Amino acid sequence: MMDLRNIVILTGAGVSAESGIDTFRSAGGLWEQHRVEDVATPEAFVRDPELVLRFYDMRRAAIQTKVPNPAHEALARLDHAWEGDLLIVTQNVDDLHERAGAQRVLHMHGEHLNAWCTACDVRSRWTTTLIDCPPCPACGATALRPDVVWFGEMPYRMDEIFAALRSADLFVSIGTSGAVYPAAGFVRNARDMGVHTLELNLERSQGSAWFDETRLGPASELVPAWVEEVLESCPLPWKRHRPTPPPGHP
Ligand code: BJW
């Protein structure tokens, strides 16, 4: 057993698929209904804001009707139990990791439930529609857009992600096709840094060849099994959160 203290977990659309949220590239996925260049680029937003805002309003409404599945719940369990460093880097813009109870979550592609004011640069929690051009709660300008990262834009908090990768012992990728960079490159970044790499996916992905190990199956089964394995088999004393002893106890 390797010395396992610091874990970086990358999640993609596959982790939310069994909650009923469409993936992007599977048959029947989001990109089959909408050409990516029509909805997920800054140029598309300039060209046809109504189409883009309608697409995101529909998805923002839909995610609020969904609930976390056993994969999100298992990762939240690990987050609570694990005393080493742990970072869940999600490409997903839904909030199912948080609703399952995970706290150490980084949304590198933004969040559906945020609106970003391009006039004053303030982000506000947003659960309703944007197509009706509501004013920004901070400055009043009608310049809100979905707070998501489109193609050609810089994903969020890359410095934090690379810092976490540098100190990681294990990189685990769950439910992502490995089609979109820079996330698709994390496995190679991790390998170059000497980090062990594990992939959990329904089927082999574009990145599978780069992983030390790939396990195939639905996230709702693979992730709870892997989390149990990590929590049960790691012999090191810091693997589990221990409640602070009451005053007076050694
Ligand atoms: C299951 C399952 C189950 C199903 N259980 N598994 C040429 C070469 C290389 C790069 C580029 C290039 N030309 C342009 C680029 C860069 C570009 C890019 O990668 N393009 C590619 C198309 C080639 N990237 C960018 O522009 C990014 N920015 C950037 O690079 O900035 C410069 C930079 C440089 C260096 C460092 C840092 C920055 C921005 C990318 C933004 C992506 N945005 C989106 C939309 C977000 C908003 C929204 O939701 O609408 O993010 S695109 C979309 O794809 C979304 C996702 O997060 C992302 C990844 O998709 P994901 O999660 O992998 O989903 P799927 O559907 O592809 O896969 C699902 C997987 O789950 C499958 O494998 C299934 O098998 C599996 N699965 N059910 C387990 N039950």
Single out the residue of 164, 181, 175 nearest to residue 222, CA to CA.
175
Ligand 1 proximity of 18 Cβ (cutoff 6 Å): yes
Phi, psi at 155, each rounded to 5°? -60, 160
pLDDT of residue 244 exceeding 50: no
pLDDT (0 to 100) of residue 49:
95
Q: Is the CB of 49 under 6 A from ligand 1?
A: no
What does the mean pLDDT of the chain come to? Answer: 92
Q: Is 12's C-beta closer than 6 angstroms to any atom of ligand 1?
A: yes
Instruction: Write the pLDDT tens digit of every residue in 142-199.
Output: 999 999 999 999 999 999 999 999 999 999 999 999 999 999 999 999 999 999 999 9
Tell me what pLDDT residue 33 has: 76
Q: What ligand 1 atom has the least distance to the C-alpha of 91?
A: 57
Q: So what's the pLDDT on residue 3?
A: 84
Residue 80 class from Cβ within 10 Å (0-12 exposed, 13-18 middle, 19+ buried)? Answer: middle
Would you say residue 242 has pLDDT above 70?
A: no
Q: What is the per-residue pLDDT for 26? A: 78
Q: For residue 56, which atom of ligand 1 is closest to its CA?
A: 50
Q: How confident is the model at residue 247 (pLDDT cuts 50, 70, 90)?
A: low
